[in-house]
Amino acid sequence: MTPTEPTASGGWLAAFADCRLAPDLDDFLDALRVEAGVSRNTTEAYRRDLTRFLGHMTERGRAGWNDLGPRDIVAHLAALRATGAAESSVARCLAAVRMLLRHQIGESRLSRDPCALISAPVLARHLPSTLTIDQVEALLSAAAQPTWIDARDRALVEVLYATGARVSEAIGLRTDALEPGLGVLRLFGKGGKARIVPMGGRAAEALGTWLETWRPSLPGARGRPEVFLSRTGRPMDRTAAWRRIKTLALRAGIEAELSPHTLRHSFASHLVSGGADLRAVQEMLGHASIRTTEVYTHLDADQVRSVHRLFHPRG
């Protein structure tokens, strides 16, 4: 095998052991974590992508940053595609490589950006799955039994739908982040960024029932700051939360495809369909860019087109 031929991913990772640029990768990841406030999960995703990239560059005989050229980057992306990687994964890898190389330029280790003329893959825009208002009501009604677990699950679903919180944000909710009198919650999103979001009366009622009637009976609950706890009094984790939501969906007879963000998407879609200002929805969702929020205007446009097709004489 010549140095320019990509091997399987295991070969790249093995080659990384001999990579002279590895310490600079650690420096970049430390900067992401400490200076940019990037979350641990995102940092680890960058580490995986960039370990593979640098391993491949080592196989190609590139020992220094200034040895890298545009053809090396293109070859690595082609090698990813050859393993069956989705275009979204290729685009994510290219974004990580761009950030890494720009960091090296900033540190005076690299004199030019080999990614400068490489375009990102054009990705198909996938609209998020959402529930109808009736399906959300059915999901909530499925947690109507007078038990501690139904009280907790109903409060969790109410919070997710009322605030647009991510599942991870909801299970990380603490009792000192609740402002019942003001009807708001304080959520901590990506990078630990806090935001204040309004909470409707139904969500506040469900939370109150859970916190005042059921949660205190769980072992060790009084010493825990987290709102949502398991049977043993430990904080509920993301997997358990999502498993419970899927259980409620089955109980409610909901056949629509669900994802961990379905209630978040439904929250945003229903607000936009009802005429909510897109900037306000952006703030509530904690999106850094309005472009991320704009996908919900496309959902609304699809609904308008469906109505047109159904009721217009020439639809």
Active site residues: 166, 190, 261, 264, 287, 296
Reduced DSSP (H G I as helix, E B as strand, rest coil) percent helix, strand, coil of the chain, to 5: 60, 5, 35
* Tokens at 163, concatenated: 């605030």
Return d(Cα 281, Cα 274) in angstroms, integer. 12
- Write phi, then psi, for 188 (nearest 5 degrees): -115, 115
Pairing verdict, β 184-188 and 178-179: antiparallel
| Cβ within 8 Å of residue 259, ≥6 positions away | 128, 129, 265
What CA–CA distance (Å, rounded) separates 79 from 55? 12
Task: Kindly state the tokens that stand for 289.
Answer: 């860019």
Residues 6+ apart with CB under 8 A from 226: 171, 172, 173, 174, 175, 235, 236
- d(C-alpha 80, C-alpha 48), whole Å: 13
CA distance 107 to 53: 20
Count of CB atoms within 10 A of residue 85's CB?
A: 16
What is the three-state SS of 246-272? HHHHHHHCCCCCCCCCHHHHHHHHHHH
